Homo-oligomer: A and B are copies of this chain.
Amino acid sequence: MDIEIRAATAADWPQIHEFFADIVADGETYAYPDDLTSDEAAALWMQDHVVVAVDGVTVLGSAKMGPNRPGRGSHVGTASFMVSPAARGRGVGRLLGEYCVTWHREQGFAAIQFNAVVETNTAAMALWTSLGFRVIGTVPGAFRSRRHGYVGLCVMHLPLS
């Protein structure tokens, strides 16, 4: 396994943006605005703590993480993940997910909450479940999947203390 996870830098963005744009356009996993420019997408992704999974100079995936809410909700973290379609099947999502759980523990968060896991995203649902997350509830029809139509968005949760 020669995949490394490290903090992202501005120099990583062009590679992140390539799969970010593909994944959003694919229409199965993220409710980002349509037709984002690269700068607009960077403003949404490159915030809080952002990491990349790299194989040498190639960015295979990225995750962003930080408090889910400010103020009286800031003890619960959240995260978003994207893996380059070209890198699927190499365990990149699991590495990023495990990193995310460790990072939140080290930072002293009480829990991690995912606000909107698309219920038809079976890879993500299985990965988060295997890491100990459970579905708190599913908002019916809250996501317009390109292939499946209206599907649910799951709120998932992992207590850390």
Contacts and interface: CB of A to CB of B under 8 A. Distances in A.
B32 A70 contact: yes
A79 to B, nearest CB: 15
Contact residues on A (Cβ < 8 Å of other chain), bracket? 35 or more
Of A24, A33, A139, chain B has the most CB atoms within 10 Å of the CB of A139
B157 A140 contact: yes
Contacts of A111: 139-142
A125 interface: no
A41 to B, nearest CB: 12
A6 B79 CA distance: 38
Interface string A41-83: 0000000000000000000000000001111111110000000
B140 A75 contact: no
Contacts of A27: 72
A85 interface: no
A113 B137 contact: no
